[in-house]
Amino acid sequence: MNSEPIWRPLYPFVSHYHADDSVRMHYVDEGQGQPLLMVHGNPTWSFYWRNLILAFRDRYRVVAVDHVGCGLSDKPQHYRYTLQQHIDNLVRLVDHLGLDNVTLVAHDWGGPIGLGAVLARPDRFRGLVLMNTGAFPPDFITLRIQLCRVPWIGEWAIRRLNLFSRAALHMAVSKPERMTPEVRAGLLAPYDSWEHRVAVARFVRDIPRSPSHPTWRVLQEIEQGLRTLRDRPCQLIWGMRDWCFRPSCLERLVELLPEAKTHRLANAGHYVVEDAYEQIIARIERFLEREVGTSG
């Protein structure tokens, strides 16, 4: 008899699936009230949001997605793993669930994916919480990520050795004591084979270097669209020890969203929720009550 995975008690949520063209997208849908839509980046999944889901599901409807290719979603090998495709998938899920008065909570690639959905369905969204992300063409690509983009070698390192996901367990946090065996197992669980790491590699490949890349245009459109969202309550929460989305990314978002409430967490890294979920829960709670007014 198979025993329960050691990470499963940390993720005590019911699984839901939405199918589009026979490809299933997994999501968590917990609680009742006005919705919080939690959108992860690479190489995480809805497990990343577990502490926030537990904290808010008694007062809000918390929906946390797994992008196609990630988490417990299907992982087709021949699929259009692009920013625009992930945006389209999220828009379809929001429409399918009939979500309204939504507060977006997004991290890493979840920022542009979530903001792309907001711009596609502005009447459905009420507030924004963005963490260590970008919503514009990148000013730089770090050397660590550039190495993962080297033809053949990068793909082999990500998909055969799982180096991208494993390295993040060390490089994306500033509090390694929080990376318990259970947490490490949970973050890695969906990415246990060459086939299951396809989206991890495709996310890395989809980072645009120049305007000739299709995703560069999508990011430009999101950046331009942010100006139309300045009237929405917005909170920026940033782990200042992030080597990937550096503080300069935060300052660029502040310029684009000058009315945003900004919180700099000096002792948190890229996996800011892992490093500082207690502070983040408290700050989001106050933001929702005072700025968004969505308490159940």
Catalytic residue among 29, 66, 206, 242: 242
Outline where DSSP puts E strands in 40-116. 61-65, 102-108
Peptide bond into 43 cis (omega under 30): yes
CA pair distance 256, 245, nearest whole angstrom: 16
Catalytic residue among 29, 66, 108, 275: 108
20 is catalytic: no
Catalytic residue among 26, 86, 107, 270: 270
Q: Assign 37 to helix, strand or coil.
A: strand
242 is catalytic: yes
Give me the count of residues in the chain: 296
270 is catalytic: yes
Q: Which amino acid is at 15?
A: S
Q: Which residues of 10-44 are buried (b: 16+ CB within 10 A; e: fewer)?
A: bbebeebebeeeeeebbbbbbbebbbbbbbbbbbb
Q: Burial level of 215, CB count in 10 A (0-12/13-18/19+)?
A: middle
Q: Which amino acid is at 44?
A: T
**Strand ranges across the sheet with 35-39:** 15-20, 23-30, 61-65, 35-39, 102-108, 125-133, 234-239, 261-265
CA pair distance 207, 109, nearest whole angstrom: 10
Active site residues: 108, 242, 270
